[in-house]
Amino acid sequence: MNLQDYGVTYDELEPFFDKAEKVFGTSGEAYKVNGKVVGNGNVFAPSRSDDFPLPPLKDVYTANLFRKAADEAGYHPYSLPAANASRQYTNPYGAQMGPCNFCGYCSGYDCYMYSKASPNVNILPVLRKDPNFTLITRAHVMRVDLDSTKTRATGVTYLDLDSNREVTITADLVVLGAFQFHNVHLMLLSGIGKPYDAQKNEGVVGRNFVYQTITTSRAWLPENTFTNQFIGTGGGGVAIDDFNSMNFDHGPHGFVGGSPVWVNQAGVKPIAASTIGGGKDAPRWGAGYKKALVDTYRHAMAIDAHGSNMAYRDVFLDLDPTWKNAYGQPLLRMTFDWQDNDIRMNRYV
């Protein structure tokens, strides 16, 4: 297991967290601001410089059930901060957001209410008015171009997918702002940094890849209890952090790390529900399964634990020596497996 201190502190990062939350229109409730208790937020969270820009989203019924149960059990429930606007909002750039209406189609879909934080809602409407800004679409970046010393970026080369020709753009500054896999892939393809070598335990790029452990417990409630799973919002819900980080005694359990536990009802679509519905005693096929699915869809709820996954020497990203993508470049290869620490943590939480 690779354990080391972060290169920056929370106090150094906090102003940027605060700015990002204001740009995103984040809904939530702080516990401490400037060292003073101001609300009913996460009691384990460090002090903030300011409260969230918007109040927390309202609890759906299942989140309210979880909040009451956690409170009665002596835990510390709080409203999940969410990049979904709980009310109308205008961010510091002047971009406007509408209030989330709990449509249930947040995860995996565009938001027709402009309630979900994303570049096309929170940044691009203002940025596109800048005469110095140009948005190039249908472009696949092939590599970051470097100077002769291989220590400074000079621009990027991309493939124009309409003309199928490579185009080079020079720049004083290049920002890698893609998903983590594509960022690492571009760095490896471009010769940026030293690739990680697991055998020698040397190099940086591709090292310390981590994911998360996910456990879902599903409950089927009495027939007169309606959970209305079709209602939901992508980030809203209620969580506890009592089993996260260093908030509990790890000694007897033999692992490091932990997990928040939450109810986040994002909207269960009927077809997706067919893979989880019916209850443990229901038939898994045929008319009996269909009947059980209809009977239980309105009465079920899920409780999730999104736990930590530690960094290990033999878990990493590199360029595949055999397989290539559609552009003739080596694919990014992931070498990954769950380790004993993660399994013990997952079983406990």
What does pTM read for this prediction?
A: 0.91
Tens of pLDDT, residues 250-283: 989 999 999 999 999 999 887 777 776 666 677 8
**pLDDT score for 218:** 87
Residues above pLDDT 70, as percent of the chain:
98
Tens of pLDDT, residues 220-238: 888 899 999 899 999 999 9
**pLDDT score for 277:** 62
**Distances in whole angstroms, Cα of residue 180 to Cα of each of 51, 112, 185:** 29, 27, 9
**Which class for 162: exposed (0-12), middle (13-18), buried (19 or more C-beta within 10 A)?**
exposed
Residue 61 has pLDDT above 90, yes or no: yes
Mean pLDDT of 152-156: 97
Tens of pLDDT, residues 90-114: 999 999 999 999 999 998 889 999 9
**pLDDT score for 281:** 75
DSSP, collapsed to helix, strand or coil, labels residue 90 as: strand
Asked whether the beta carbons of 29 and 78 are under 8 A apart, the reply is: yes
Tell me what the pLDDT averaged over the chain comes to.
94
Rg, the chain, Cα only: 23
Looking at the DSSP bridge assignments, the partners of residue 141 are: 158
